[in-house]
């Protein structure tokens, strides 16, 4: 692989890591600010339900970008057993969080059929 492409992919992976981490931090701050505003307007329970969904979405988006960065690093920049293990761990964490987020927001596992009374 040419040195320019290699360094470009390394920079891309670093940018994606920064973007993914930034999404997690900024998303948490924004979701918390919205929660506090809704808590005053609607009360604790409706605000908390919205907050949990927002945090779940933020985590999933941030992790997706971090997984993309890790894939790029694993394949092109640092193809080692350690980086492959990190990638596998991130994918397991992301999958687990995705499943539990779906369970928390919809009340069912991702592989379960929608209930007949559940809104589409």
118 belongs to a structural domain: no
Average pLDDT over residues 43-55: 88
Q: Is residue 17 part of a domain?
A: yes
Asked if residue 77 is part of any domain, the answer here is yes
pLDDT at 2: 82
Residue 117 domain-assigned (yes or no): no
For residue 34, pLDDT beyond 80:
yes
> Has residue 111 been placed in a domain?
no
In a domain, residue 116? The reply is no
CA 56 to CA 112: how far, in whole Å?
A: 19
Given this model, what pLDDT does residue 119 score? Answer: 52
- Check the CA dihedral 101-105-24-70 and report its sign: positive
Q: How many domains does the chain have?
A: 1
Residue 32 domain boundaries: 3-106
Is 113 within the bounds of a domain?
Answer: no
């Amino acid at each position: 692989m040419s040195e320019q492409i290699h360094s470009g992919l390394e920079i891309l992976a670093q940018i994606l890591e920064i973007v993914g981490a930034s999404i997690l931090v900024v998303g948490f701050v924004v979701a918390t600010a919205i929660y506090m505003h809704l808590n005053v307007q609607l009360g604790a329970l409706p605000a908390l339900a919205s907050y949990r969904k927002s945090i779940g979405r933020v985590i999933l988006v941030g992790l997706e970008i971090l997984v993309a960065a890790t894939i790029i690093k694993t394949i092109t920049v640092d193809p080692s057993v350690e980086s492959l293990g990190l990638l596998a761990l991130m994918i397991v964490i992301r999958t687990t969080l995705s499943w539990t987020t779906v369970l928390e927001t919809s009340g069912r596992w991702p592989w379960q059929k929608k209930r007949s009374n559940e809104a589409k």
